[in-house]
Chains A and B, each alone.
Chain A
Amino acid sequence: MAKDKQHQLDIVTKPQFIDGSALKIPMLQILAEDGTIRKGAELPEMDKELALKIFDTMQFIRILDERMIAAQRQGRISFYLSSLGEEAASIGSAAALTDGDMIMGQYREQGALAFRGFTVEQFMNQLFSNERDLGKGRQMPVHYGCAELNFMTIASPLATQIPQATGYAYGQKMDKTGNCTICYFGEGAASEGDFHAALNMAAVYKVPAIFFCRNNGYAISTPSQGEQYAGDGIAPRGVAYGMKTIRVDGNDVFAVYQATQLARKLAVEENEPVLIEGMSYRMAGHSTSDDPTGYRTRDEENAWRAKDPVVRFQKWLQAQGWINEDEAQKNYDEKKAAVLAALKSAETVPVPHIDEIIEDVYDTPPPHLKQQLEALKAHIRKYPEAYPKTASRIDGGDK
């Protein structure tokens, strides 16, 4: 066969179109839907302590999601985004990292944050935008962030975190930190230009980054197959960028854990960025502002309910003798009580002081912002009844 030397290509003499579906990427599954280990699969090393911590976090997130959807329905918080059905994807992957690795998320990865040690009080403070929120009550609920836990603050614009993960990982590589960055996003976000920019740059620069796509079938009402993309999902794109790529069952905590563990090794030891596509299903609506009955069937949801990642993992844990039904229920009840207590407590904490409205726009507030704050305070003093959350505390008060 002849060679085109400049482009290092093999030359053919007959036209050959490569089919868009030529690259068929299989899905790794270790834990079958019935909670047994698949034949031929190799269980990743996971001791009882870690397994129970993962399960514990799964239970907590499920309770948090269910309770806070209810709290939003009651008008106690303004908004909520549940991760129902995708607990294995975020928690299983976070479990394969070290605490020094950076996590950059989209908004459906609260499991990763909980696994890192974000407390139920911290979750509630953010959800209620109160003065104990690390984000100072400025962003919508579920936009968590915590520098101490290396969890980058969530922002609403989709996919913007993906090229940021490439840049962050570049800094980690240059500083020889021995850490990597994991970046989560949905299959809808992968249609944004920032996805393309990020993966291409990561492959070119060889940065220690793990791109974790949660392919849950829907972007709000838009089904992935046929309306979000015509190709074989997200995974083949990684290959096209020259990146090591794997597709896993996102509802199988072992597949997620093993793939992420191997990806981390590639990232940190070889500076090889990796793309992981975790196949899952968004069990709840997109958010509390969305009703999925308008665009999909109960039958479809029920079919996926049978693949529930938490139930599946619990079955395996019970078969191991690491937990029994009663213990699981007892843990569930305790966590539920803790969530309810934290919820009640957080909603009584006041909002941040009005002075915070101009802090952190810059490292220090410039003169024009100070003037604007003074004008605002003068206005609030004049109409205190119109601004009940801040008026009483405006001049020192109980600040």
Chain B
Amino acid sequence: MAKMNLLQAINNALDIAMAKHDNVYSFGEDTGAFGGVFRATSGLTEKYGRHRNFNTPLVEQGILGFANGLASQGSYAVAEIQFGDYIFPAFDQIVNESAKFRYRSGNEFNVGGLTIRTPYGGGIAGGHYHSQSPEAYFAHTPGLKIVMPRNPYMAKGLLLSAIFDKNPVLFMEPKRLYRASVGEVPEEEYTLELGKADVVKEGKDITVLAWGAQVEMAEKAAEMAAKDGIDCEVIDLVSLLPWDVDTVAESVRKTGRLVITQEAPITGGFASEVAATIQDQCFLYLESPIARVCGLDTPYPLSHEKEYFVDHLKVYEAIKASMTY
């Protein structure tokens, strides 16, 4: 075991993957010898050469187009998009190409070796274009897998799974926690199952569901609620596509209540998908309406970030409202 922050865990996972197979490639804007604007790829060029960890020209659709081609050739392509906010120029390559590659060809070709890494999320004074959480846009895309780790241990194990998974994976890294989240991480290779939710804390009164950086807010709110005698079950969804319906439904059948929290705007957010599915699966068990605690339906603001941010207080209030419904 070693103490690592979330960035170090990601860097360590990339290092292990690249050491394991010669045809694992890592690339993006400034990800070469410089090591990326967040340093996630630092040291990789020195170790594996500039043909395996390299800079791309500044063109997101090109990064994903190139990555799709490289993965279809049989390589492992780990592409970085500098900020999730800038993934949209590559939306066509991801949604129409990566996600449909295997299906449309009848499995003649696939881009299973593709992993897209991108930092996402707010709370860092990033304004409109360094704060977004675009996961719901992609969760509407059959063929793609989406994973969002909440701490260094999860990040390393999930990223190694993502890289070697036989499907294209969008790996969204909570940049607010890059250095803030520190924990014990095994130094050797290990993997964590994609598509599996993680029960962070067991409880019997209410289920609180979150993913990525927002799990921290769910946990903090649960601690506050515990002082009021409310026993929360906190679940990290981990994977958004495919997502672990069974674990969430089982929890809600036990607790009878569900609060879902996400950083992204509420309308069309992934919380809506979860709420609709759980209402369908657990109708006779629900004792209060499913609550969604989400960002406002506005662009991500700068001066009002603190007000906009989906903090633990907002989640706590939703827990109490659900309990007293």
Contacts and interface: CB of A to CB of B under 8 A. Distances in A.
B67 interface: yes
A263 B75 CA distance: 25
Nearest to B104: A139
30 contacts: A134-B106, A135-B108, A136-B106, A138-B106, A143-B104, A145-B108, A147-B108, A153-B106, A155-B97, A155-B104, A157-B92, A160-B68, A163-B61, A163-B62, A164-B66, A164-B97, A166-B65, A167-B66, A167-B70, A167-B72, A170-B69, A171-B23, A194-B93, A197-B59, A197-B61, A200-B57, A360-B107, A361-B103, A362-B167, A363-B167
A369 to B, nearest CB: 8
Contact of B65 (A146, A163, A360): A163
Contacts of B195: 366
- Ordered nearest first, which 5 A-B pairs have the shortest CB separation? A163-B65, A167-B69, A197-B62, A171-B73, A164-B69
Interface in A341-385: 359-363, 366-368
B245 interface: yes
B306 interface: no
A250 to B, nearest CB: 25
B176 interface: no
Contact of B72 (A157, A164, A175, A363): A164
A172 interface: yes
A174 B92 CA distance: 27
Given A167-B69, A171-B75, A194-B62, A160 B106 contact: no
B128 interface: no
Contacts of B107: 136, 359-360
B322 interface: no
A168 B70 contact: yes
Contacts of A46: none
Contact of A163 (B66, B100, B104): B66
Given A194-B65, A363-B110, 13 more contacts: A163-B62, A165-B69, A167-B71, A174-B25, A193-B59, A197-B57, A197-B66, A200-B59, A200-B62, A360-B103, A361-B143, A363-B102, A368-B242
Contacts of B103: 138, 360-361
A147 B109 contact: yes
Interface in B102-125: 102-110, 112
B267 interface: no
B69 A135 contact: no
Contacts of A147: 105, 108-109
B191 interface: no
B166 interface: yes
A32 B205 CA distance: 85
A67 interface: no
Interface of A: 102, 133-136, 138-139, 143, 145-147, 152-153, 155, 157, 160, 162-172, 174-175, 193-194, 196-198, 200-201, 204, 359-363, 366-368
A133 B106 contact: yes
A193 B72 contact: no
Contacts of A359: 107
B96 interface: yes
Contact of A362 (B62, B64, B143): B143
B108 A153 contact: yes
Contact of B68 (A143, A164, A367): A164
Interface centre among B59, B69, B106, B195 (most CB of A within 10 A): B69
A21 B178 CA distance: 51
Contacts of A165: 69
Contacts of B51: 174
A194 B25 CA distance: 21
A135 B242 contact: no
Contacts, number: 150
Interface residues of B, number: 45
A164 B65 contact: yes
Interface string B73-109: 1110100000000000100110011001011111111
Given A155-B96, A361-B103, A201 B56 contact: yes
A168 B242 contact: no
B70 A153 contact: no
A171 B62 contact: no
Contact of A204 (B57, B61, B102): B57
A351 to B, nearest CB: 13
A359 B79 CA distance: 26
Contacts of A162: 65
A365 B104 CA distance: 15
A163 B56 CA distance: 12
Nearest to B77: A167
Nearest to B112: A363
Nearest to A359: B107
Contacts of B61: 163, 193-194, 197
A196 B106 CA distance: 29
Contacts of B73: 102, 167-168, 170-172, 175
Contacts of A368: 242, 245
Nearest to A135: B106
Interface in B172-228: 195
B299 interface: no
B126 interface: no
Contacts of A143: 104
Nearest to B66: A167
B65 A197 contact: yes
A66 B105 CA distance: 26
Contacts of A172: 73
Contacts of B289: none
Contacts of A204: 57
B142 interface: yes
Contact of A171 (B74, B106, B109): B74
Nearest to A365: B242
A82 B318 CA distance: 60
Contacts of B97: 155, 157, 160, 164
A138 B104 contact: yes
